[in-house]
Amino acid sequence: MNRHYTIKLYCPDKPGVVAAVSQFLAQHGGSITESSQHSDLVCGDFFMRVEVDADTLPYASVSELEKAFSPIAEQFDMTWQVADSAEKKRMVILVSKYDHCLSDILYRWRNQDFEFDIPCVISNHPDLRSFVEWHGIPYFDIDMKSNKAAAFDKIEALYHEHHGDLMVLARFMQILPEAMCERLFGQVINIHHSFLPSFVGAKPYHQAYSRGVKLIGATCHYVTQELDAGPIIDQDVIRVDHSHSVEDMVRLGKDVEKNVLARGLRYHVEDRVLIRENKTVVFDR
């Protein structure tokens, strides 16, 4: 795919927003490759995402485009962002011992299933070092037991040292400190192994088994201070029945978890997600 800029925005809905944005692009010869809009009749906001072929615009960088676009953004009181597909997002992965999500992300990175970089992987266990390092990716093994606060400081420092854009909790099994959630809001994505809001917290497959549900699921969401309550990006389910033990659910659930997480990460990395309060607008395709 050609290099493109992606403009994401939302603002109070009124006539003329689309006209202003598309006029701006058209008068500079900008070729739109994908465009999506949404008018939310409840909150009264208008959401938009436009992908433009970068070579058709006279702006060499995101900041040049931002400078040119900002008068329109101000006029309509937009919350907005511009991204350049040439600058790959840098995804720092946190993992514990379960490696189904990590393996899946590494496979997608090797195969350029979608575009992103992995500057490092951080874990509270040494188990996955060899597999990660085979990929030429640095692996940091952090002791979470003796001093949890210090460990999280270390993690946050590593994230910044590696210029992370996105922190992925790929079944990390540890709860992030509230302050860290606040500081990194919109940059931390978790995969929870239940169909939220059902079965918040620990051992959701055990909870699902006890309740006798006929579908189990997984939820990919942004992390907030409140456990498993942040804005949901994607969810999916798989059918189970009486014949499935908790162990079977764990096994079947892994396939759902990794697929839901991969979809959510792609949406984020391709700048398809807009967060507004505790909900997301996802211009998927």
Q: By CB under 8 A, what part of segment 35-94 binds its own copies?
A: 35-42, 47, 56
The span from the CA of 90 to the CA of 103, in Å, is 17
Task: Note whether 26 binds its own copies by CB under 8 A.
Answer: yes
Q: Which of 92, 191, 245, 261 contacts its own copies by CB under 8 A?
A: 245
The span from the CA of 209 to the CA of 198, in Å, is 12
How many residues touch its own copies under the rule CB under 8 A: the total is 73
Pick 66 or 236: Cβ nearer its own copies = 236
**25 to 19, 73, 78, 156, 171: CA distances (angstroms):** 10, 13, 17, 39, 42
Q: In the complex, what is the shortest distance from the CB of residue 263 to its own copies, in angstroms, rounded to a whole number?
A: 9
Residue 166 phi/psi, 5° resolution?
-150, 130
Q: Extract the tokens encoding 213.
A: 């549900």
Q: Which stretch binds its own copies (CB under 8 A): 26-34, 76-84, 142-150, 157-165?
A: 26-34
Pick 155 or 216: Cβ nearer its own copies = 216
Q: In the complex, what is the shortest distance from the CB of residue 87 to its own copies, in angstroms, rounded to a whole number?
A: 22
Q: Which of 12, 29, 44, 201 contacts its own copies by CB under 8 A?
A: 29
Asked if residues 141 and 123 have their Cβ atoms less than 8 Å apart, the reply is yes
Pick 35 or 174: Cβ nearer its own copies = 35
Helix (DSSP H) and strand (DSSP E) numbers for the chain: 8, 13
- Long-range (24+ apart) CB contacts under 8 A made by 161-165 are 162/90, 162/92, 162/119, 162/120, 163/90, 163/119, 164/90, 164/91, 164/92, 164/119, 165/89, 165/90, 165/91
Say which DSSP state 171 is in.
Answer: S
Q: Extract the tokens encoding 67.
A: 């400078």
Return the SS3 of 136. Answer: coil
- Among the listed residues 99, 104, 228, 234, the single catalytic one is 228
Active-site residue flag, 99: no
Q: Which stretch binds its own copies (CB under 8 A): 77-85, 115-123, 148-156, 272-280?
A: 272-280
**Contact string (CB under 8 A) for its own copies, positions 165-204, x = contact:** ------------------------------xxxxx-----
Q: Which of 123, 231, 249, 257 contacts its own copies by CB under 8 A?
A: 231
In terms of phi and psi (left: phi > 0; alpha: psi -120 to 50; beta: otherwise), the region of 150 is alpha
Positions 104 through 163 that interact with its own copies (CB under 8 A):
104, 107, 110-111, 113, 131, 134
Pick 38 or 154: Cβ nearer its own copies = 38
Q: Which of 93, 189, 232, 265 contacts its own copies by CB under 8 A?
A: 232
Active site positions, annotated: 228
